[in-house]
């Protein structure tokens, strides 16, 4: 088994810098989602995954669970809340009633598009800082 080279102060500084930049972005995101969308980070991630889904039927709950890296029952609860808000719809597959598809509604599409624009803008503002520390981590092999 190959041994890992020791970490230097610059490695730790780059790791800390990356985590700091990431935390600042995540704080921005959480605050934006709460104030502008009245949704949680997890709900935003679900809406975003649904928005980029290639299927006209939407995504199966199991697929969405994988995308979000959460358990099936967590995705069911999450999508139920989004459905209550009119942001997604659910439909059982005609051939297999166990399969449930989740799809964005028009309101969900409008919300995710509006929030994603603001996220993209913020990433643009913060990307230089993140790229610098990521390059430092990549180059310090």
pLDDT computed for residue 141 by the predictor: 54
CA distances to 24, 36, 47, 89, 102 from 82, rounded to whole Å, are 26, 15, 9, 8, 10
What would the pLDDT profile of 55-84 be if each residue is shown by its tens digit? 888 999 999 999 999 999 999 999 999 999
Q: Hey, what CATH topology would domain 9-139 get? A: Arc Repressor Mutant, subunit A (1.10.10)
**Domain locations in the chain?**
9-139
pLDDT computed for residue 51 by the predictor: 97
CA distances to 12, 74, 75, 88 from 70, rounded to whole Å, are 30, 6, 7, 18
CA distance 79 to 77: 6
pLDDT computed for residue 6 by the predictor: 80
pLDDT computed for residue 3 by the predictor: 72
pLDDT computed for residue 1 by the predictor: 57
pLDDT computed for residue 2 by the predictor: 62
pLDDT beneath 50, residues of the chain: none
CA distance 94 to 124: 43
The pTM score is 0.86
Q: Strands of 59-60's sheet, edge to edge?
A: 59-60, 100-104, 88-92
CA distance 25 to 6: 29
């Amino acid at each position: 088994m190959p041994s890992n080279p020791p970490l230097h102060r610059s490695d730790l500084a780059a790791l800390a810098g990356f985590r700091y930049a990431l935390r600042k972005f995540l704080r921005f995101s959480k605050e934006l989602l709460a104030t502008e969308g009245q949704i949680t980070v997890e709900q935003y991630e679900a809406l975003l995954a649904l928005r980029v889904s290639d299927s006209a039927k939407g995504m199966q709950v199991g697929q969405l669970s994988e995308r979000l890296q959460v358990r099936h029952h967590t995705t069911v609860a999450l999508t139920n809340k989004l459905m209550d808000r009119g942001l997604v719809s659910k439909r059982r597959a005609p051939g297999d009633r166990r399969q449930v598809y989740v799809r964005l509604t028009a309101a969900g599409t409008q919300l995710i598009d509006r929030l994603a624009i603001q996220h993209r803008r913020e990433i643009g503002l913060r990307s230089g800082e993140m790229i610098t520390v990521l390059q430092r981590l990549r180059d310090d092999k």
